[in-house]
Structure 1
Amino acid sequence: MKDKFQKQVDAFSKVLLSFIILILVVFGGLYYWANHKPKPKIEDIPLEESNEDFDKVENGIHVATGFVDDKGMEATIQNCTSCHSAKLVTQNRMSREGWKATISWMQETQNLWDLGANEELILTYLTKNYAPTDKGRRQNLENIDWYELK
């Protein structure tokens, strides 16, 4: 009886081992297939063609970034948009002290490099073109025909 039981255990062990090997082979193959697809060649990747010139300015606004065209704009674009969107700058309004504090914070906590001689140029540009306004971020809505919901 022990021999019969031992044979059943051996048979079950072989079936279980075969099943485990099968699972490993299947999942290993799937993993290999998912992670080793042929990489596209450079010529196979479609390039987006842009008719927009990066240096284009319309109505005093740099088209590609939305920055006001003024002295210091290029230095501001080079130093600010390397890490974040231009929109992060243009949506804010701060005093010179506020812009200086923001730059210092980015240097202390966000690995912003030393701006050197460009710092004065950038601060002057930001203070002139993105200073606080009495109106806040958005002007009040005017000439609106309000109606009552029923």
Structure 2
Amino acid sequence: MKEHDKFKRQVRSIYTVLLVSCFMVFLIGILGIAYMASPSSFVFKVDSPNTELVTVTTDEDNWDKIENGIHLRTGLKDAEGLMAVVNNCTNCHSAQLVMQNRMNEERWIETIRWMQETQNLWDLGDNENIIVNYLVTNYPLLNKGRRENLTDIEWYTLKE
């Protein structure tokens, strides 16, 4: 009888996992259909350096619109080389990933080579210099370390 109860618990666990998985697939499907019906209703917030908050929209009318020096769809800064970055970098990953990885020229080139060798990134040709210059100029390396120092903290001593 003990083995039978153990078997029933295992079956119940498997059933629960399957039920939750089916529900998640259903929910993702519904969200996908809703997005396809009205992509402009999906607006994302992206935290961008040197700005309060950037709204990134998928509205087709604003696909490449620039407002207050920010490319609305990606949140990237408007500067020379922006569209080269948008066209080559955001095909594979989000602009937020590009913005948060602040590197010098040498590290960007190493990263591009790594993506070409391991991630099937195509040869960027003349665009490589344009992209690297845009990134180094607009998202330079910050020598802040892992995080800024804590300030205005009231420290206390733990009792032993």
Compute the TM-score of the two structures, normalised by the length of structure 2.
0.56
Distance in 2 (CA, whole Å) between partners of 1:101 and 1:145 is 40
Partner of residue 32, structure 1: none
Q: How does 1:7-22 map to 2 (within 5 A)?
A: none
TM-aligned CA distance change 1:138 to 1:69, over 3 Å: farther
The residue type paired with residue 48 of structure 1 is S
1:128 Cα deviation after fit: 0.6
Larger Rg: 1
The residue type paired with residue 65 of structure 1 is T
Q: Gapped runs of 5+ residues in structure 2?
A: 1-32, 42-58
1:146 Cα deviation after fit: 5.6
Q: Gapped runs of 5+ residues in structure 1?
A: 1-43
Q: Comparing both chains, which one has the higher relative contact order based on Cα–Cα distances under 8 Å and sequence gaps of 6 or more?
A: 1
Distance in 2 (CA, whole Å) between partners of 1:69 and 1:141 is 32
The residue type paired with residue 64 of structure 1 is R
Structure 1 residues 8-61: Cα deviation after superposition (integer angstroms, max 9, x where no partner): xxxxxxxxxxxxxxxxxxxxxxxxxxxxxxxxxxxx985214273121222222
Partner of residue 144, structure 2: 135
Structure 1 residues 96-117: Cα deviation after superposition (integer angstroms, max 9, x where no partner): 0010000000001111000011
Runs of 4+ in 1 over 4 A off after TM superposition: 136-142, 144-148
Considering only aligned residues, what root-mean-square deviation do their CA atoms show, in Å? 2.5
Matched, 1:75 2:65: no
1:134 Cα deviation after fit: 2.5
Matched, 1:120 2:129: yes
Partner of residue 27, structure 1: none
1:122 Cα deviation after fit: 0.6
| Structure that is richer in strand per residue | 2
1:70 Cα deviation after fit: 0.5
Distance in 2 (CA, whole Å) between partners of 1:141 and 1:147 is 11
- Counterpart selection for 2:111 from 86, 98, 102: 102
Partner of residue 93, structure 2: 84
> Residue 143 of structure 2 aligns to a residue in which SS?
coil
1:137 Cα deviation after fit: 6.6
TM-aligned CA distance change 1:68 to 1:105, over 3 Å: same
Aligned length: 105
- Counterpart selection for 2:75 from 61, 66, 71: 66
